[in-house]
Amino acid sequence: MQAAASTVALERRVPAEESARADFYALLARLFHGAPDARLLASIARAPALDASSPLASAWGGLTAASHAMDADAAREEYDALFAGVGKAEVPIYAGFYLGAPAADHPRVRLRRELAHLGLAPREDNSEPEDHLAGLFDVMRVLVAGGAGRAAASLAEQRRFFETYVAPATQRFHAAINAAPTANYYRKVAGFAAAFVSFESESFQLE
Amino acid sequence: MKTTKPHARRKFLLAAGIGSAGAVAAAATKGVAVATHEPPQPKQGDGYRLSEHIQKYYKTTEV
């Protein structure tokens, strides 16, 4: 008698602390994808403080306080003023600008290869180039917690993508936002993004 | 007792207390289109796809 072949799907649970990392990546992806609406601002404003006294906790406190004071219309105007318009935006939101982009091997080209290697591709309804900051944070979300048809990546794989693209672009983007006269709410968003990236850098050292 | 690196990393993450705020962050983004990636679509070798419409047509030609 021949045994019937069957496939058993094994689902590996993501630990709570790793899931929390993915949640923060999701939030950053959302905030860089577009301006927060009233519901999102209210949710962030209600969020609890982080337990520890640290640069991350301080930056998170700054973002929650700013979300309490901000209204959605002003956030949209600021987002458009800062980031809208390719080539003439006050602050470029594309990693290629910050990573030094030689024409022959532009980060977008490398990212396209990298995404294919990771088993990912931009959604068809996503018209933004691969190096948009929202896209990079979204890739990290998927690598940390799994999603988009793939399992969570190993820490080594997460770290490689993070250190190649996410960390250097975010820190330089943060400096650019700080220098932009129009920036107000997004100064806090970028401040939190930079603090979170520093926190992640430190945690990867403990890998 | 020797502390292993994964344990140290977990302790570091837990000490930061990102769990509760992270949950709120997750709830805040529920129902909002943040996902910008999906699995790559398999490539059609010659760009030709057997659509439902064409399949129906073939059925009408069967004897």
Q: What CATH superfamily is the domain A16-205?
A: TorD-like (1.10.3480.10)
Q: Note the pLDDT tens digit of each residue in A119-169.
A: 888 888 888 888 999 999 999 999 999 888 889 999 999 999 999 999 999
Q: How many angstroms separate the CA of residue B59 from the nearest CA in chain A?
A: 31
Please name the residue of chain A whose CA is at the shortest distance from the CA of residue B33.
A30
Would you call A33 and B39 a contact, using CB atoms and an 8 Å cutoff? no
Would you call A142 and B37 a contact, using CB atoms and an 8 Å cutoff? yes
Rounded Cα distance, B35 and A155, in Å: 21
* Residue ranges for chain A with pLDDT beneath 70: 1-12, 85-87, 101-104
Check if the beta carbon of residue A64 is closer than 8 Å to that of residue A134. Answer: no
Q: How many angstroms separate the CA of residue A49 from the nearest CA in chain B?
A: 7
- Both tokens of A139, joined, read 């890739």
What value of ipTM does the predicted structure carry? 0.77
- State mean pLDDT over B16-45: 66
Supply the pLDDT for residue A125. Answer: 80
* CB-nearest partner of B23 from A18, A23, A207: A23
Three-state DSSP class for A59? helix
- Residues of chain A in contact with residue B29, where contact means CB-CB under 8 angstroms, are 23, 26-27, 30, 40
Check if the beta carbon of residue A194 is closer than 8 Å to that of residue A59. Answer: yes
More confident residue, B55 or A197: A197
0.95 exceeded by the pTM?
no
Supply the pLDDT for residue B46. Answer: 41
Q: Considering chain B, what is the average pLDDT of its residues?
A: 64
Q: How many alpha carbons lie under 13 Å from residue A202 in its C-beta half-sphere?
A: 15
